[in-house]
Amino acid sequence: MSDSERRPLPAIDIKGVSKVYSVGGQTVQALREVNLTIKKGEFACLIGASGCGKSTLLRIMAGFETASSGVVNMYGKPIVGPSPERGMVFQDYGLFPWLTVKENIGFGQRQRNLPKAKLNEISAYYTDMVGLTKFADYYPGQLSGGMKQRVAIARVLANDCEVLLMDEPFGALDALTREKLQQDLLEIWARTKVTVVFVTHAVEEAVMLSDRVVVMTAGPGRIEEDIKLALARPRDITAIEFNQVRRDITQYLSSHVSSKVAA
């Protein structure tokens, strides 16, 4: 039995990652010495106030940005750039407006020169998974925000992504749509066993969704707390335990913000 089989490689392994930007001649440290390991199949939330570097960290995982120092590995291999294995879901969707729903969902697979029938089959399967079969021939401009985000999720899943990176994906949606999409995301997660790294600034959303909440703080961005959630699923937003956890996390966040203000 090999070593890696006994201790499986983590989906994402971040070691000593720092990120320094240069803005108008001034250097800004966005991340300092971040260490984070995300297991295969885990649903992890990165939470923090704006400016804490959570989106930067996610973009480094995606390969859109490179760390100034440190290592980021996926299953032991260094991340050198964007790749279909790591699918990003943006807050502003990033759909191709000239492609229909099913063409957007099939976009990734189309890059692989599959036979047309196979391509259609895959895109139909994922269009159905996110409940948009009736809208398969619509253009993004004809869809609501919630539907667009469903397309964005289906698009990366259809492309065999193993790690789903989500950057405040439901932040622009109304409360009802957000709740519905959270439930659907959990269902998809349970069904596909995909690893999820989910960036949010909403504590309730983090507690609702994740196995683990990673609290980040700003100036420079670093990980403050790493909380495993033992709450049973499906989670009940009105349960005492749920609210206990929510209160704890809110305190971690606000204590840091108030100490910053006092200083």
* Binds other proteins by CB under 8 A, chosen from 29, 83, 177, 243: 83
* Binds other proteins by CB under 8 A, chosen from 18, 56, 159, 217: 159
Determine, following the binding rule CB under 8 A, whether residue 155 of this chain makes contact with other proteins. yes
Determine, following the binding rule CB under 8 A, whether residue 64 of this chain makes contact with other proteins. yes
Residues 114-143 contacting other proteins, CB under 8 A: 139-141
CB atoms within 10 A of CB 103: 17
Question: Distance between CA atoms of 25 and 21, rounded to whole angstroms?
Answer: 10
Nearer to other proteins among residue 115 and residue 234 (C-beta): 115
Q: Which residue has the tokens 């961005």?
A: 221
Determine, following the binding rule CB under 8 A, whether residue 172 of this chain makes contact with other proteins. no
Which residues, 6+ apart, have CB-to-CB distance to 8 below 8 Å?
39, 40
CB atoms within 10 A of CB 183: 13
In this structure, are residues 61 and 163 in contact, taking their beta carbons and an 8 Å threshold? yes
Determine, following the binding rule CB under 8 A, whether residue 146 of this chain makes contact with other proteins. no
Residues 91-110 contacting other proteins, CB under 8 A: 92, 94-100, 107-108
Two tokens, residue 219: 């100036």
Binding site for other proteins (CB under 8 A): 62-64, 81-84, 86-88, 90, 92, 94-100, 107-108, 111-112, 139-141, 155-156, 159
